[in-house]
Amino acid sequence: MILSRASSLYRWNIDRTLAPLLLLAGLLCTAILLLIVLFLSKEAWPVLANGGWRAFIADNGWYPREGLFGLLPMLAASLVVMLGAITLAAPVGLGCAIFLQFYSPPVLRRGFRLLLSLLAGMPSVVLGLWGLTVLVPLVARWQPPGTSLLTAILVLAMMIVPTMALAGAAALSLVPAEMISGAAALGMGPRSRILYVAVPAARRGMLSGVLLSMARALGETMVLLMVAGNVVQYPHGLLEPVRALTANIALEMAYATDLHRAGLFASGLLLTLLVLVLAGFAARSLRYG
Amino acid sequence: MMGKRSLIVFSALLSLITPMALSAQRLTLTGSSTIAPLALEIGKRFEQQNPGVRVDVQTGGSSRGVNDARTGLADIGMASRALHESEADLTAYTIAMDGVCMILHRDNSIDALSDDQIRDIYTGKIRNWRELGGADLQITVVNKAEGRSTLELFLAYFGLNNSQIKASVVIGDNQQGIKTVVGNPGAIGYVSIGTAEFEEQNGSPIKRLPMNGIEASTAQVRAGRFPLSRPLNLVTKGAPGELALQFIRFTQSPGVDDLVEGQFFVPLEH
């Protein structure tokens, strides 16, 4: 009795010192996020105050030198590029995950997983440079200028496939083995086991992988800056150039002053909020499915 | 108690700092955002070579530079243009030249364009090289992002607003512009002359178009003959103070040529 009491007291002591430290780490992370949002709001204030935000919706085009701050075409471009990339990447990425988890021979599996991890860690500027020097001239031969919605979607899809495959494989590996062998014992073939047992059981994890990839696609900057063409207009054709919100900030921030600068910070604020909403959905889907 | 102690610490710190602050000589530059990055770099080197001197650079446009120099708010104004006649009360010291040239892909058969033709291409009136006697190839118009000095110089020279331009691609820096033209035989763009010359000499398949018959080269920009160029000036009212004069001399010396070229401007002849 005495012994167990002493040891539980001992553990409690560790908890007492560790818990505040962990709390501090947690608070620090949250504080940084809060500070970022506060800072963005403060810098964007000159353009947001006195109803100036209406210009983002009402103005026809983005020409800060001429006092026009229409953001909607770029918001639309960001969303369309993201949705396009996800539509291409989701089947491929989740297919990779199923192959990795159920079909690949063990010899291949390790190499394949390593390759996916390497691809997932590939700096986006390298992919962007590849897109600009290889993919863009190819598309340009077909229909100039080559830098377009299509190239942006293709390169971005390539970028998020590995992330999605790894997230999907992780979700599938969490499906209890008993569940799958149970299905086999009931006489289900491999195809039914995967489609009707494993995938439905892993759908929360897979969905959150997709949502996180969407957040990544929305926040991607370098690739879009290099291959999307950066012309401010509503996306109205696959081969037309568009400018994403992120690329706009990267293009103009270094040389922007006054209201122009505040406008860029406002678009940064908008992006942050969009990414937060996506991350929120991802967390929700993990919890409730 | 706490307040009193911190007050003592604070005043002790202050007494340590104050003599330093007083002995530090301060030089304020305001004006053109084109010159500011260069002035900042030169200022850093000047501070290194002259301990105790602080160079403070603020942007706000050439007009602010001229005004601040006139009212004495700044020791030196920065103006990325020649002085107007109404500004004869000020003295301009040119520290470098900024030149922009039109570039095409090397395989494009066009070798020269008039100002009007360039204006028509950029406003979307001419959309195919065939209309200018070239190959049957769609023109890809490469424009710069807002805020870049190359864009400003280009728009001012051709008398255009950015909203009039029908761009196919918008780029950020000069390198991206050159890569875009290299990858697209139908493209036309404009970049800093220094960058274009360097890239062409290192094998990039681009060509620089002459303007009004004048070859697009750093030599022509330096000589002040190239049309699409402008001087980068430091401006003072009357004779500059000792420190300001020392700084101006330094910005005009060969010791900062590498910094000037680093910002894609053309250094002066020394």
Q: Which helix (H) or strand (E) holds A287?
A: helix A258-288
Helix, coil or strand: residue B203: coil
Helix, coil or strand: residue B51: coil
Mutate to test the interface with B, among A149, A240, A255 (most CBs of B within 10 A): A255
Predicted pLDDT at A133: 87
Predicted pLDDT at B22: 46
Express each pLDDT in B134-176 by its tens digit: 999 999 999 999 878 789 889 999 999 999 999 999 998 888 8
Provide the 8-state DSSP code for B108. Answer: -
Report the DSSP beta bridge partners of residue B77.
B30, B235
Write the DSSP assignment of A38-69 as a string of letters.
HHHHHHHHHHHGGGTTHHHHHSSSEEGGGTEE
Express each pLDDT in B194-215 by its tens digit: 889 989 988 999 999 999 999 9
B170 touches chain A (CB under 8 A): yes
Q: Mention every residue, 6+ apart, whose C-beta is less than 8 A from residue A199.
A: A98, A172, A206
Residue type at position A78: S
- Cα(A131)–Cα(A147) distance, rounded to whole angstroms? 9
Scanning B43-82 for CB atoms below 8 A from A yields 59-61
Taking CB atoms and an 8 Å limit, are A255 and B147 in contact across chains?
Answer: yes
Taking CB atoms and an 8 Å limit, are A256 and B147 in contact across chains?
Answer: yes
User: Which chain B residues contact residue A256 at CB under 8 A?
Assistant: 146-147
Mutate to test the interface with A, among B170, B174, B188 (most CBs of A within 10 A): B170
Percent of chain B with pLDDT over 90: 61
The answer on pLDDT for B43 being more than 90 is yes
Tokens describing residue B80: 């990325």
Residue with tokens 């620089």: B208
Residue with tokens 């800056």: A225
Express each pLDDT in B16-37 by its tens digit: 444 444 457 899 999 887 898 8
Residues in chain A: 289
The sign one gets for the Cα dihedral B18, B19, B23, B24 is negative
Residues in chain B: 270
The answer on pLDDT for A30 being more than 70 is yes
Give the angle subtended at the CA of B17 by the CAs of B12 and B22, to the nearest 5°: 135
Helix, coil or strand: residue B210: coil
Nearest 5°: phi and psi at A12? -60, -35
pTM of the model: 0.79
Report the DSSP beta bridge partners of residue B143.
B170
Taking CB atoms and an 8 Å limit, are A144 and B163 in contact across chains?
Answer: no
Q: Which helix (H) or strand (E) holds B183?
A: none
Predicted pLDDT at B93: 94
Taking CB atoms and an 8 Å limit, are A241 and B169 in contact across chains?
Answer: yes
- Cα(B196)–Cα(B233) distance, rounded to whole angstroms? 23
Express each pLDDT in B213-263 by its tens digit: 999 999 999 988 999 998 999 999 988 889 999 999 999 999 999 999 888
Domains of chain A (ranges, CATH numbers): 70-287 (1.10.3720.10)
Q: Least CB-CB distance to B167: which of A132, A144, A231?
A: A231
